[in-house]
A and B are shown apart, each in its own frame.
Chain A
Amino acid sequence: NIVMTQSPKSMSISVGDRVTMNCKASQNVGNNIAWYQQKPGQSPKLLIYYASNRYTGVPDRFTGGGYGTDFTLTINSVQAEDAAFYYCQRIYNSPWTFGGGTKLELK
């Protein structure tokens, strides 16, 4: 089975900073990666699909990149409302494995 490993597990940054988080697949998944944002008490929300496509309504400060086994989610000029957990996921084929998540905290 494919294992998705996210790093770092948590990060603390200031409003206005740029942040990049990582997702590594244990085998080549092409561009079949999605990114989700989850705030406490809420369902996850789709941000990025097929590694770099921004979902409808997602602010353009969110950017996804990568191919094969290494992927990134970058948030330019982080806003207070971006404090959340972020999860990557292998998509398109089973198993639809999630990464362990990255917690983004604001200083």
Chain B
Amino acid sequence: QVQLKESGPGLVQPSQTLSLTCTVSGLSLTSNSVSWIRQPPGKGLEWMGVIWSNGGTDYNSAIKSRLSISRDTSKSQVFLKMNSLQTEDTAMYFCARITSMTMAFAYWGQGTLVTVSS
């Protein structure tokens, strides 16, 4: 059974760096691609970036300069790091698996809420 679960600090101070982990089960990261998506409270979805099964990455150009996505295949974990956080980065952060059949986000984690506040 495929599962994804996000984890992170919950509260981050402005200007600091956010570090999130997406732990996956039931799949191998060497043959699956995982993306990060965020959703500010009461607003829509924003695609952040993807780490492909081959380890390559693509990022949303609007946040590319602040964002890094990496993985540890042995631990089945995908990492998100974003620096210079501001209050507008307050959001629910989701990771999601892209399936080769759909090339869409067929499996999502439950999300983790990150609040940027001093």
Contact = CB atoms under 8 A, between A and B. Distances in A.
A38 B94 CA distance: 13
A67 interface: no
B51 to A, nearest CB: 12
Given A43-B111, A87-B44, A94 B104 contact: no
A99 B37 CA distance: 13
B58 A91 contact: no
B109 interface: yes
Contact of A50 (B45, B102, B111): B102
Contacts of A96: 35, 47, 50
Nearest to B108: A43
A95 B47 contact: yes
Contact of A46 (B46, B61, B102): B102
B59 to A, nearest CB: 8
Contacts of B35: 96
B2 interface: no
A95 B46 contact: no
Interface string A37-59: 01000011110011001010000
A34 interface: yes
The 6 closest A-B pairs by CB, nearest first: A34-B104, A43-B108, A49-B102, A94-B58, A96-B47, A98-B45
